[in-house]
Amino acid sequence: MDMRTLTYWQAISEATVQCMQADERVLVVGEGVDDFRGTYGTTKEAFARFGPDRVVDVPNSENATAGLAVGAAAAGMRPLVVHTRADFMFLAMDALVNLAAKWRYMYGGDKGGAPVVMRGVVGRGWGQGATHSQCPHATFGHYAGLHVATPATPADAKGLLITALTSDTPTILIENRSLYPLTGEVPEEMTPVPFGVGRVARAGTDVTVVAASLMVHEAERAAEQLSAQGISVEVVDVRSIRPLDDTIICESVAKTGRLVVADTSWARYGFAAEVAAVVAERIPEALRSPVRRVTLPDCPAPVSWPLEEAFNPSATEIVKACLAVCDTTRSELPALETVTAGFQGPY
């Protein structure tokens, strides 16, 4: 397999072009997809090769774009919709959740599905405020009938997008904008990466950190810091949150006995809560200390740069959480009769 070093955005671009070359049903739809400055360079090559017939700029209406794409998918096309701000994908929820996710089930499978793929760009910028810096991946992950991928590396960005564009299941690909400059080894061939199969990004024995997308790299930074203190951290990159690789998570926690979950969204009803629930339901006896979640504070994002720096979780918070679970051990309490057996009074 021939490997090259590509950036995260170049890997997405290459996957898009290769899938369009392999299948004429694939088309790209979104605001500014004909202008590389609007899509972080990810659609520049596709537009140069295939032009406006297959790389289609659309008006500023996420609801209409979603309806167009889901209809095209139901009719046999394979549209790739680019949302440069996933915050506004909420406007696409009806077409995505009520139609695309349920199409195959409502029609008994005989009419196929609506295999639309939506790329959602998430994450902080520089003072972009509460409505332009959200990470709504857990919202999409809640709905049966959808797949949600969270690639953390250039190779996975390419491989997971290829899987999405060749799958019959509607898919959301979550891309944290902070990852676009990231470089890594990427196969030249069309090499799909399966959904629901996580990877151990760093092996360890003392504590497991489960993370997705950008937080995988923060977890690796934290693991490097903790290694200097004699704490061995295992970092699990889930790759997709729906389907979620329960097995790799539980195998790691069974080995380490401790779990920290790191996410770029809120703790309540989110990805971190789901991972904690999986472990609590499947291997509660393995936990030697309570689960810790490293997530956003329970409020919308601030605009101020210093406040934004404090608001977003980082390796520092992961280090603190790992130290906390490693310092906390669960002891078996002795039976009451054992405690009182030697008691002589006078009371």
Output Rg (C-alpha) for the chain, integer angstroms: 22
Average confidence (pLDDT) over 27-42: 91
Structural domains of the chain sorted by starting position, each given as residue range(s) with its CATH number in brackets: 3-187 (3.40.50.970), 199-327 (3.40.50.920)
When the pLDDT of each residue in the chain is averaged and rounded to a whole number, the result is: 92
pLDDT at residue 347 is higher than 70: no
- From the candidates 14, 31, 62, 274, give the one annotated as an active-site residue: 62
274 is catalytic: no
**Region of 100 on the Ramachandran plot (φ > 0 left; ψ -120 to 50 alpha; else beta):** alpha
CA dist 118 and 197 (Å) reads: 20
pLDDT number for residue 233:
99
In the numeric block, the tokens 């537009």 are attached to: 47
Per-residue model confidence as pLDDT tens digits over 81-116: 999 998 999 999 999 999 999 998 988 766 678 999
- From the candidates 132, 142, 251, 317, give the one annotated as an active-site residue: 132
Per-residue model confidence as pLDDT tens digits over 202-220: 999 999 999 999 999 999 9
Higher-confidence residue of 226 and 343: namely 226
> Of the given ranges (24-38, 121-135, 197-211, 241-255), which has the lowest mean pLDDT?
121-135
Per-residue model confidence as pLDDT tens digits over 254-292: 999 999 999 999 999 999 999 999 999 999 999 999 999
pLDDT at residue 339 is higher than 70: no
pLDDT number for residue 343:
36
* Residue 328's pLDDT band (cuts 50, 70, 90): very low
Average confidence (pLDDT) over 217-242: 98
Q: What tokens were used for 154?
A: 């250039």
Task: Give the CA distances from residue 175 to residues 8, 122, 275, in Å, rounded to whole numbers and listed in that order.
Answer: 9, 6, 20
Q: What tokens were used for 163?
A: 């899987």
Q: Angle between the 214-227 and 315-327 helix axes, to the nearest 10 degrees? A: 50
pLDDT number for residue 146:
97
62 is catalytic: yes
Average confidence (pLDDT) over 50-74: 95
